[in-house]
Amino acid sequence: MEERDVVVVGAGIAGCSLASGVGEAGHDVLVVDAKPHFIPKVCSGLISVRIDSLISYPKKAIMNRIKGAKFFAGGEVSLELKRSSTQAYVMDRAVLDAYVIEETSRSCDVEFGWRLVNVERKNGFAVCILRKGDSIRKVKAKVVVGADGALSRVRRLLGVGKKLKILSAALAYVKDEMASDIVEIYYDGELAPGFFAWRIPRNDGIVEYGLGCEKGKAVKMLEKFCARFEHKLDRNEIKAGFIPLGLIDRSVDDNVILVGDAASQVKPFSGGGVIYSLICAKIGSEAIIRALQSGDYSKEFFSRNYENVWKKKIGTKIQVGMMIRKLFDSLSNDEVGELLKMIDENKELFLKVADMDFLGDDTL
Ligand SMILES: Cc1cc2nc3c(=O)[nH]c(=O)nc-3n(C[C@H](O)[C@H](O)[C@H](O)COP(=O)(O)OP(=O)(O)OC[C@H]3O[C@@H](n4cnc5c(N)ncnc54)[C@H](O)[C@@H]3O)c2cc1C
């Protein structure tokens, strides 16, 4: 049987970042992805400037620079928060993801077309059962990383994460005009129940229209949202995906860890997952390197060296984010408007403490 130190399931930004860390330390890492070939992630690519201290990437991935946001409650503008400096980039995920995969391939084997169907634990190892068409491949590994996204199969096989909320989200690019350094966030309980709609200026006169909601109707709701701005979308132009929300009950087991969307390492208030995924991928790769050195692949080891460490960094932030999310969900459009106006009256204080990653300065 094929044997590897580590099998990473999912060649997204979380899986690749973790794999690179372990591969660069000289270990034998296989990254597999169910997609037939490289396809960039469906994502707005609105990523805080904190990314500069987490990974390298080609500067051409930056399509636009954002200084703030305008918040609307039921269609009416209630709050604008803006700083003088760039807070976030609008990044081209096709460029970013292609670069991340290329970098990962330098120290790891990255193979597309292989879907993980099962993980069996035997004699202190994990055996991954992978399928490509009619071919079945078994790979024995010391550690398996579930980096397989919001609907993670590895997470389901572990029987964890049952209380997570999985939102559906959709986006489309439209030729349109808006301020170039501000994103727009629309809270509207009817249009986007459980989340919000957005407009993000990209480059060359293109605006991204997007929407996330509970109960799986994001594509339909996005069409409604665009109709408000007199845009009719062709269904083929709409791209859809899923966003997990909430603090996962457990992200480790014997020989297995989860990372990225699979572990719901996502900001519940914005749905942004890139920064948290990168932070946790680094913690995960360090834990796996230590495990490979010590020969301890137990759930207890990964609890101590991975789960407790990442939850200490962002666990409370995810819980607080969920509380704010729930508060917004319980309010009518008018009440959200009132809340936004209250923030507006204390804008200076809010701008002092607010941080789009909820991290503060001491976290990295
Ligand atoms: C519409 C939308 C907009 C978003 N906008 C933003 C944003 O502006 N800013 C931000 O920070 N975040 C955003 N996010 C979230 C962000 O994209 C993710 O949090 C981030 O990319 C982390 O991804 P990941 O690597 O964990 O998972 P993914 O990128 O989903 O990668 C998982 C990979 O696993 C593979 N896979 C799945 N199952 C299997 C299997 N059984 N076997 C093998 N491979 C498998 C998939 O093919 C996929 O390539 C957005 C998400 C959506 C849906």
State pTM to two decimals.
Answer: 0.96
How far apart, in whole angstroms, are the C-alpha atoms of residue 141 and residue 317?
Answer: 33
Q: Which two tokens stand for residue 215?
A: 């109960």
Ranges assigned E (strand) in the chain: 2-9, 29-33, 46-48, 62-66, 68-73, 76-82, 88-91, 109-112, 115-122, 125-132, 135-146, 165-175, 182-187, 197-201, 206-213, 239-245, 252-253, 256-258
Q: Give me ligand 1 centre to Cα 41, in Å.
A: 6
Q: How many CB atoms lie within 10 A of CB 194?
A: 17
Question: What CATH fold (topology level) applies to the domain 1-45+92-164+248-328?
Answer: FAD/NAD(P)-binding domain (3.50.50)
CA distances from 192 to 197, 226, 248, 269 (A): 6, 13, 24, 14
**Are 110 and 97 in contact, with CB atoms under 8 Å apart?**
no
| 285 C-alpha to ligand 1 centroid (Å) | 19
Per-residue pLDDT at 359 = 66
- What's the pLDDT at 357? 75
Q: With a 6 A CB cut-off, is 239 part of the ligand 1 pocket?
A: no
Is any atom of ligand 1 closer than 6 Å to the C-beta of 274? yes
Instruction: Return the pLDDT at 360.
Output: 61
* Domain assignments of the chain as residue spans, ordered by start: 1-45+92-164+248-328, 65-86+165-245+331-364
**Residue 113 has what pLDDT?**
98
Instruction: Please give the distance, rounded to the nearest whole angstrom, from the Cα atom of residue 338 to the centre of ligand 1.
Output: 34
Q: In sequence order, what are the residues at sequence separation of 6 or more whose Cβ sits closer than 8 angstroms to the Cβ of residue 221?
A: 170, 191, 192, 197, 211, 213
Architecture per CATH, 65-86+165-245+331-364:
2-Layer Sandwich (3.30)
Q: How far is the CA of 265 from the centre of ligand 1 (A)?
A: 11
Reported as a single tens digit per residue, the pLDDT across 209-232 is 999 999 779 999 999 999 999 999
CB-ligand 1 contact for 147 (6 Å cutoff): yes
Residues of the chain with pLDDT under 70: 358-364
Q: How far is the CA of 230 from the centre of ligand 1 (A)?
A: 30
Q: Is the CB of 13 under 6 A from ligand 1?
A: yes
* Best mutation site among 32, 44, 63 for ligand 1 pocket (most ligand atoms within 8 Å of CB): 44
